[in-house]
Amino acid sequence: MSESSRTIETVELAVRGRVQGVGFRIFVAMTADRLKVSGWVKNLPDGSVQIQATALRSILDELITAVTVGPHGSRVEQVETLKQKAPGHLAEGFEIR
């Protein structure tokens, strides 16, 4: 395992496509809970979904892969990294806002 994959990071993502009204936030929260990712997910007025996630880099990569596919009924067109923060501490829990 490389040093970067053992570093705790926080990323903020914007997910665009058909991602509201299809259980997308619940999908993200369930995936994050399974992977032990902390953070939050929320709908934005423009129809996109914003995610802030904190975990080991390798775990964040798994979350991003899952989000890129999305749940049945969604259509993810773009996953954009808005911010990537330096190593931090891992807080508890993941919430839907």
Q: Quick: pLDDT tens for 15-56.
A: 999 999 999 999 999 999 999 999 999 999 999 999 999 999
From the candidates 16, 18, 25, 97, give the one annotated as an active-site residue.
25
From the candidates 34, 43, 57, 75, give the one annotated as an active-site residue.
43
Strands 49-56 and 8-18: antiparallel
Told to judge if 43 belongs to the known catalytic residues of this protein, a careful annotator would answer yes
pLDDT at 36: 95
Task: Band the pLDDT of 84: cuts 50, 70, 90.
Answer: confident
Distance in angstroms (rounded) separating the CA atoms of residues 69 and 91: 26
pLDDT at 83: 78
Q: How many other CB atoms are found less than 10 A from the CB of residue 65? A: 11
Q: Is the pLDDT of residue 4 over 70?
A: no
What percent of the chain has pLDDT above 70? 89
Short-list 14, 31, 13, 22, CA closest to 74 = 22
Position with higher pLDDT, 8 vs 13: 13
* Helix intervals (H) in 1-97: 24-35, 57-69
| Statement: 4-86 belongs to CATH 3.20.20.140 | no
What contacts 51, CB < 8 A, 6 or more positions away?
11, 12, 13, 15, 28, 39, 40, 41, 67
pLDDT at 76: 98
